[in-house]
Amino acid sequence: MSAGRRPLVAGNWKMHKTPGEAREFCTALAALVGSEPSVDVAVCPPYTALAAAADALAGTSIAVYAQNIHEAASGAHTGDISAPMLLDVGVQGTLVGHSERRAAGDTDDQVALRVRAGIDAGLLVVLCCGESLDTRRAGDTERWVTRQVQSALADVHAADIDRLVIAYEPIWAIGTGETATPAQAQDACATVRAVAAERVDAAALRVLYGGSVNPGNAAELMSQADVDGALVGGASLDPESFAQIVEAAA
């Protein structure tokens, strides 16, 4: 982790927690890390819990991000949510291109449009990228990640750097208990940074690692030179566990 880049730890709740559960979680988390001065902290609740989370975290330093957005501001898009809708309930950022969304049908072209839409709306966009186990075994990780990042940043400009974060999440390590070694995380995050340098200031870009991050491995993973924080899955569902990861980032 570079001393010049402020670390970010974001918790992706996926399809967990009702509004009531989100409110209870956020109240507990704020008591643990709400005044943490050296780390940016965010939670990514499901759509139905975003307003409750934003209300519970009002006045704290913890941000609320969505898990995805649609590229259009409005229209005939049943089941989708736009950036203006998110902003209206107090959301400050969004994930885009998570592997679980890509597996459900989100295309590279859509991911690129959503990155642009989120930035233009004033959201902080956390672009996700990562390879499958078969891709890694084939020695194709660098090519795969390069393609994903280049495609997603096709319409991103240098001035967008303050609204962009990239999270490297190897698909084979998401929810499996398997974790990339610190060396593997460093290599992949360094690749992400090098590719993104074609579009933005790489020295200022925050690159996160995600994939079975927990309190036991967080510090070593985030000690790597090109790892500026973590996108946390299962371990973000418990406030004490998540707070320990934030402490490791600090």
Q: Which are the catalytic amino acids?
A: 98, 169
Are the C-beta atoms of residues 64 and 41 closer than 8 Å to each other?
no
| DSSP structural state of residue 4 | T
- Nearest in space to 55 (alpha carbons), one of 25, 13, 81, 17: 25
- Residue 21 CA to residue 43 CA, distance in Å, equals 13
Neighbours of 192 (CB within 10 A): 26
- Residue 70 CA to residue 136 CA, distance in Å, equals 30
**How many angstroms separate the most distant Cα atoms in the chain?**
48
- The string of DSSP letters for 182-239 reads HHHHHHHHHHHHHHHTTTS-TTT-EEEEESS--TTTHHHHHTSTT--EEEESGGGGSH
